[in-house]
Amino acid sequence: MVQRGGRWRDHRQVLNAILWKLRTGAPWRDLPERYGPWKTAHERLRKWTADGTWERILAEVIVKDDSIGSLDEATAVVGSIDSTHVRAHQHAAGARKKGAARPGSKPSPSGECLGRSRGGLTSKLHLAVDASGLPLAVILTPGQAGDNPQLLPLLDALAALRGSGHEDNRRLHVERVIADKAYTHAPTRKALRRRRIKATIPEKSDQIARRKAKGSADGRPPAFDSEIYRQRNVVERCINRLKQFRAFATRYAKRAAYFRSEVILACIMLHLR
């Protein structure tokens, strides 16, 4: 006779336990007794990470967010994109550093998105937010990874969002991208034009010099509106709000998949506030 397991501990209690750890950055074994056994909370985090529960919740709160509107009514958004380094704690430094996952894919056990940058052993979070500064998509890479290669994968993640309830619901479409000089590469601008996405990205000084050296035939500058560019600060404010969660400000998780889940959970909380 197969013995049945006991009843699952209340989801609300377990979620509160995970949020307490996210807010404080404390070790799992220091979880207060009012949240139940720490192993239960960690196991629930592991299960919901493996089956993609966190991503589905984030997608649900995004498509129902008032700043975007229903995907059937308003599908064009202005997106600001930037990245930030997260210093890895010594508890996370024991993970393997080679074989990082490809941009846009889930981290694999062989690559835990740790790399060397000016800040030491770090991970880098690439973030896309809407005009209100609420997070829409996140990608985790090693700390030394460049910013520009992650722009199109972030847009692909946004394009995958769609409403629920109808098979023919429209997908989320980004109308304009606002980003700093790290994303000003010519191939990136061409890719955005192919997707009919407007770009508000300043040029680097060397790019301006090369363009002017070509003369009038090929020296027309790309469209740039400084007033629109001022709206880019929303992504920096979003990063500051996310780093109020201590488990995000410093990476304590050894596994990249768990750390990414903590980041997504922090993004969910910003939408629900």
At 204-258, the pLDDT tens digits run: 887 777 777 776 555 666 777 888 898 899 999 999 999 999 999 999 998 999 9
Q: Which of 170, 167, 177 is nearest to 81 (CA)?
A: 177
Task: Judge whether residue 105 has pLDDT over 90.
Answer: no
263-273 pLDDT, tens digit per residue, is 999 999 999 88
C-alpha angle with apex 60: 84 to 244, nearest 5 degrees? 35
How sure is the predictor about 108, in pLDDT bands with cuts at 50, 70 and 90?
very low
Q: Domain limits of the chain?
A: 67-251
Distance from C-alpha of 74 to C-alpha of 91, rounded to nearest angstrom: 44
| Tokens standing for residue 208 | 């301006």
Q: What is the pLDDT of residue 216?
A: 57
Residues 6+ apart with CB under 8 A from 210: none
pTM of the model: 0.82
Out of 1.10.155, 3.30.420, 2.60.40, 1.10.10, the CATH code matching 67-251 is 3.30.420
Q: Return d(Cα 108, Cα 140) in angstroms, integer.
A: 12
Q: Are 24 and 266 in contact (CB under 8 A)?
A: no
Determine contact, residues 119/88, Cβ cutoff 8 Å: no
Chain mean pLDDT for the chain:
82
Q: Which of 15-24, 75-84, 152-161 has the lowest mean pLDDT?
A: 75-84
